[in-house]
Each structure stands twice: as C-alpha cells, then as structure tokens.
Amino acid sequence: MSESPLFQSFELSDLTLNNRIVMAPMTRARAGKERLPNALMADYYCQRAAAGLIITEATTISEQANGWNESPGIYTNEMVDGWKTVVESVHGAGGNIFLQLWHCGRASHSSFHDGKPAVAPSAIKIDGDYIHTPKGKEDYEVPRSLETGEIPTLIEDYQREAERAKDAGFDGIEIHSANGYLLDEFLQSKTNHRDDQYGGSIENRYRLLGEVIDAVTSVWPAERVAVRLSPNGAFNDMGSPDYREQFIYVAEQLDKYGLSYLHIMDGLAFGFHELGEPMTLSEFRKVFHAPIMGNCGYTKEEAEEKISTGDADLAAFGRPFISNPDLVDRFQHDWPLAEDADVSAWYTPAGAEEYTDFPTYSA
C-alpha cells in the first residue's frame, strides 16, 4: 500500500475525510434543459465517492445566474429533490459532498435570458471567440452592469440557495469566486470599473464576496462553507495587474471567518494571465490559517509534494476523475490511469457516454 500523504485521513473541522483527494467541480452538462439533477448524475458522483470529498459541478443560484447549457441549478424545489438523490447516493457509498454555488455573470449570453443581456459588475465584454448557447455558438455580448440596488437581491439568492443546499442534505457549500464568473469579476480590476461601494479600491471590490459569505454563514456554520479563487487564471478573459495585492487581501479577509477551506487554483492548466510571477500556495499559507486546497492540473506526485511541504492540506483533481472513476484506488496502488476521455463529450449533453461508462481498473 502506498505511503502517500494523499491517503492520510483529514479532519475538516467536524467532518472526517478518509483521504486528502478531492474531486474538483467540473461542469458536465447532464442536467437536461430543465436543469434538474437526476439519476444519471447520482450514478456519476457515486462512482467517484471514494474521494475524501466531492465538490459538485458549479450549480446556479437563479435563472439570472445561468450561462451554460444543461448545467444544474438549486433554485427550485424540484432541483432540491434531484440533488437529494445525488447526495443520498454519495453518502450511501461512504462519501462526503459539498455543493458549489455559481453565478456566471458576464460569461453568459442573452440566449439564456429571454433576450435580456447577462449581468456583470461593469459593461465589459469577454474578449473571446464564442460562447455555446441554446441557439448554438454565439459571439460574446456586452453585459449589463448590475445596479447598486440590485445587489441585495443577489445576496439573498446566495442565502436562499445555501438554505436549499442544506435541505438537500449536502455536507457543506463552496462559493465559486473563480474563473471569470460573477464574484471573480467583482474582485478584479480588469472587470470591475464601478464607482459605487462595490468598485474602485481593493476593499470595495472584495465587498460583495464578503457580504455573500456573511449571508451564507447565517445559514451554515462557517466551518462548512468554502471559497474558490483563481489568482493566476486567464479563463474567461481574466487577469488584473494588481492580482497579487488583490488576492492576498481577499485571503486575509476570508481568514477571519474560520472557513472549511480555501480552494486555490494555483496551477496554470486553465491558462496564465502572465502579468507577473504565478501566485503560490505558500503565499496564501502565510495569511490564511484554515485548511487550503490546491488545484489545477496536478499530477499525483505534484499533489503529494504540496501536502508534504505543508503548502496544502487537500489536493483537488478534475480531469483525471472523468475517465478514472476509481482514481483513488489507482493512485493508492500505483495503477496506470486510463487515457483521457473524448474531449468533445466532456462538458456536453451526451448522456452516459464518456460520463458513467468508464470501467474501473483491470490488470
């Protein structure tokens, strides 16, 4: 048996994880046009329940938050009932599962919103080739800047869906504030050009995330709430000149809550904005004292090093979990990994194909 630090158990506050391998959130687009979690999704997550923790695919908090074809939501009672089936399946297999709460912000399109523009901190379009919409590939559009008076309703959406996540039986929630989606857009000077209390200074750009955390920790204890950040990321046309100062400030503020963990995408697999040296987990470890989860393109050996050096407590893996439902066993026994799945079916409504049809290892 492997002596890898990945297989040490971990006390995530009052939640015991059997190992330090986390299944990262990955949008897989199997919820159908009604965005309802279903039995196929339950099978998918149950197959991977040997992970110490599963973080669900990004799950939208409202119709306004949508921006990806057939991704799931959590904003109706029917969606809650669907997620209950998923959670019960994972718990029945001995796993733990957090729900990731999501608002796409400007990474959306009017096709998702009955012809109305997507919303963002500021009316700044993504510089990219196209977005997949219900009508097919479309050019990115200029979003509508959220009015100051709309922000309390947005915060209420996060609070209400945090309550629904608890009703569905999840072990905790992760707030998606990464990868160029709404909360990340508010954090970064590239996408936030506001002149109200939510823009301008680093402190003001953090304000919305802080208010969202305040809201959801009125529902969940802070030790069952996590946040995801991508300080190095270029995905969705992100990257700000003051990224290091901004994200260290964010981590300092989040440290005050006693969160479950801080999920940091320090790897460069999603692209690097190249505005300076990449931020490292060790920088965050100096200012954030709750558990740190590292993520983004790790090999097993890289993850082991992150934990062995103390830079991370947990390591999240995304793509390897797609074609290796038994990834934990493969790591533990040094079995080879399966070849990557067909990329064209990774994040598309393709049913069971390239989703739940991957075999476990056979010598």
Active centre residues (catalytic): 181
Domains in the chain with CATH codes? 5-345 (3.20.20.70)
Q: What angle do CA 297, 264, 258 make, to 5 degrees?
A: 150
Strands (E), the chain: 10-12, 15-17, 21-23, 53-60, 97-102, 119-120, 131-133, 136-138, 144-145, 172-176, 225-229, 261-265, 292-295, 314-317
Interaxial angle between packed helices 151-167 and 77-92, expressed in degrees from 0 to 180 and rounded to the nearest 10: 40
Residue 230 in contact with residue 184, Cβ under 8 Å?
A: yes
- Look-up of token digits 């990329």: 343
Q: What angle do CA 47, 296, 279 make, to 5 degrees?
A: 155
Above 90 in pLDDT, residue 344?
no
pLDDT (0 to 100) of residue 24: 98
Q: Once rounded to an integer, what is the mean pLDDT over residues 256-269?
A: 95
pLDDT (0 to 100) of residue 348: 78
Confidence of residue 134 (pLDDT cuts 50, 70, 90): very high
Confidence of residue 270 (pLDDT cuts 50, 70, 90): confident
Q: Tell me how long the chain is.
A: 363
CA dihedral over 325, 229, 57, 190, signed as positive or negative: negative
pLDDT (0 to 100) of residue 1: 44
Q: Once rounded to an integer, what is the mean pLDDT over residues 62-89?
A: 98
pLDDT (0 to 100) of residue 12: 97
CA neighbor of 68 nearest in space, from 99, 29, 32: 29
pLDDT (0 to 100) of residue 267: 86
Above 50 in pLDDT, residue 2?
no
The better pLDDT of the pair 268, 179 is held by 179
What average pLDDT is seen over the chain?
96
Q: Once rounded to an integer, what is the mean pLDDT over residues 227-253?
A: 98
Above 80 in pLDDT, residue 232?
yes
Q: Once rounded to an integer, what is the mean pLDDT over residues 150-174?
A: 98
The better pLDDT of the pair 82, 350 is held by 82
Q: What is the DSSP string of 9-29?
A: -EEETTEEESSSEEE------
